[in-house]
């Protein structure tokens, strides 16, 4: 089998920089989410796939206290930090390996110093979890070299903790869990409360098409935290009537309609998105299982509307891409994917229609916004692994 281009790139750069071959090359994928947006931090359901695009890490253990990481895509930048104590955060990409190291130390586990070369083709800021991919690559490498035997789902939790508490981004568990536990050819339904996972084969003949709007919104992090707070506000209000609930995951639409009328209108709509989105994930999984791709596609379109109108995390560019997508015969459904405010949409498209699909949405987008989206087909890939 021919090696991936980034495998060769990190291996060669490692050898050139450190004058020996790497002990290990790790691949950790990015992801797209088919459905279940902003549900993970509400203890709900998500249904992502790990994708072709991934972070690649060539790595080897080294004598002495220092870890050296060269990031090939980031102006050939290099970070050097002590592996025996908690490294200082200075912002930027190196906070991901440092955060992972911090999370290992918090767990009472001491990773060995490493030399490493990192490259990634997960687009940054596009909502495809480029940061989770880097975290998992390092966590997996340290876990393997140190023979710590930490399970993949525990590595995902460790990386989420790094992201939440070291990097300072208050994300849910979806991105790290799919980068850790994805399965080629399959979508993964994750219960964000129990962390139970179920895998559904993607139907034959249906392509997952990503369209990157090329919009990058700096507001995303602050708006994300506002949405989280609104969900918590809805829960504490509803608990007055439903003392047994712990999260919006536990609330049905009927209960929300019955007890939510005196919530602030905005908070009510936020809660309605989460409650209906959880239901859509369950229905989507059922549709995938029975090969009913039309129903799955319709649920995606409904989900996009809910993100646009109730959760208000879309953008004119994402709405335009979704509208253009569903005009194409052979497109089953489309929606924004990831946190929103910019980034990508995904569509499920009959393979025979992919070429027309790409042409159409690129033309409509260019006419409307005077720029080209990046449109490509991606495939459900395996989660993090050592590549030999």
Shorter beta-carbon distance to ligand GLA: residue 57 or 171: 171
Which residue has 């005196």 as its token pair? 262
The answer to whether 43 is a known catalytic residue is no
**Alpha helices (runs of H) in 146-264, residue ranges in sequence order:** 152-161, 174-181, 220-239, 253-259
**Alpha helices (runs of H) in 146-219, residue ranges in sequence order:** 152-161, 174-181
DSSP 78-120: EEEEESSSPPPP-SSTTHHHHHHHHHHHHTT--PPPEEEEEEE
Backbone dihedral angles phi then psi of residue 216, each to the nearest 5 degrees: -125, 115
H or E element in which residue 202 lies: none
Shorter beta-carbon distance to ligand GLA: residue 36 or 113: 36
Q: 155, 136 in Cβ contact below 8 A?
A: yes
Which residue has 């720029």 as its token pair? 371
H or E element in which residue 216 lies: none
- 375 contact partners, CB below 8 Å, separation of at least 6: 209, 210, 211, 212, 357, 358, 361, 362
Shorter beta-carbon distance to ligand GLA: residue 315 or 350: 315
Alpha-carbon distance of 78 to 86, in angstroms, equals 18
What value does the CA radius of gyration of the chain take, rounded to a whole number of Å? 21
Q: 213, 315 in Cβ contact below 8 A?
A: yes
Shorter beta-carbon distance to ligand GLA: residue 125 or 185: 125
What is the nearest approach in angstroms of ligand GLA to the Cβ of residue 178?
A: 10
What is the nearest approach in angstroms of ligand GLA to the Cβ of residue 42?
A: 9
What are the CA-CA distances from residue 107 to residues 14, 111, 155, 159, 161 (Å)?
Answer: 29, 11, 11, 12, 11
What is the nearest approach in angstroms of ligand GLA to the Cβ of residue 7?
A: 26
What is the nearest approach in angstroms of ligand GLA to the Cβ of residue 224?
A: 7
Token pair listed for 85: 């104590």
What is the nearest approach in angstroms of ligand GLA to the Cβ of residue 37?
A: 4
What is the nearest approach in angstroms of ligand GLA to the Cβ of residue 198?
A: 18
What is the nearest approach in angstroms of ligand GLA to the Cβ of residue 171?
A: 3
Token pair listed for 371: 């720029």
Identify which of 330, 306, 332, 316 has the alpha carbon closest to the alpha carbon of residue 364.
Answer: 316
Q: Tell me which residues touch ligand GLA (CB under 6 A).
A: 37-38, 40-41, 171-172, 174-175, 338-339
Looking at 40, 43, 95, 175, which residue is catalytic?
175
- Residues noted as catalytic: 175
């Amino acid at each position: 089998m021919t090696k991936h281009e980034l495998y060769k790139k990190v291996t060669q750069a490692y050898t050139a920089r450190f004058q020996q071959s790497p002990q290990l090359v790790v691949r950790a994928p990015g992801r797209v989410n088919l459905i279940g947006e902003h549900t993970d931090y509400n203890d709900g359901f998500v249904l992502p796939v790990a994708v072709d695009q991934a972070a690649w890490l060539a790595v080897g253990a080294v004598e002495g206290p220092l870890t050296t990481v060269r990031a090939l895509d980031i102006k050939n930048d290099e970070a050097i930090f002590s592996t025996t104590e908690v490294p200082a955060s200075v912002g930027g990409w190196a906070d991901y390996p440092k955060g992972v190291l911090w999370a290992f130390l918090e767990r009472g586990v001491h990773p060995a110093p490493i030399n490493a070369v990192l490259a990634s083709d997960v687009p940054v800021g596009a909502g495809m979890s480029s940061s989770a991919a880097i975290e998992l690559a390092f966590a997996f490498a340290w876990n393997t070299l140190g023979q710590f035997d930490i399970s993949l789902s525990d590595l995902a939790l460790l990386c989420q903790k790094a992201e939440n508490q070291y990097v300072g981004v208050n994300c849910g568990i979806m991105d790290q869990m799919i980068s850790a536990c994805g399965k080629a050819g399959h979508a993964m339904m994750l219960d964000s409360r129990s962390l139970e996972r179920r895998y559904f084969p993607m139907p034959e003949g249906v392509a997952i098409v990503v369209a990157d709007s090329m919009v990058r919104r700096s507001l995303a992090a602050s708006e994300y935290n506002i949405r989280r707070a609104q969900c918590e506000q809805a829960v504490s209000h509803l608990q007055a009537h439903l003392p047994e609930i712990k999260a919006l995951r536990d609330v049905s639409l009927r209960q929300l309609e019955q007890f939510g009328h005196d919530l602030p209108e905005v908070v009510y709509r936020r809660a309605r998105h989460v409650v209906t989105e959880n239901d859509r994930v369950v229905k989507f999984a059922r549709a995938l299982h029975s090969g009913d791709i039309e129903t799955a596609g319709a649920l995606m379109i409904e989900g996009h509307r809910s993100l646009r109108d109730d959760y208000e995390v879309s953008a004119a560019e994402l709405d335009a891409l979704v509208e253009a997508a569903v005009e194409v015969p052979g497109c089953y459904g489309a929606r924004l994917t990831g946190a929103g405010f910019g980034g990508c949409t995904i569509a499920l498209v009959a393979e025979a229609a992919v070429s027309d699909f790409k042409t159409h949405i690129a033309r409509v987008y260019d006419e409307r916004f005077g720029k080209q989206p990046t449109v490509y087909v991606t495939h459900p890939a395996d989660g993090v692994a050592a590549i030999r």
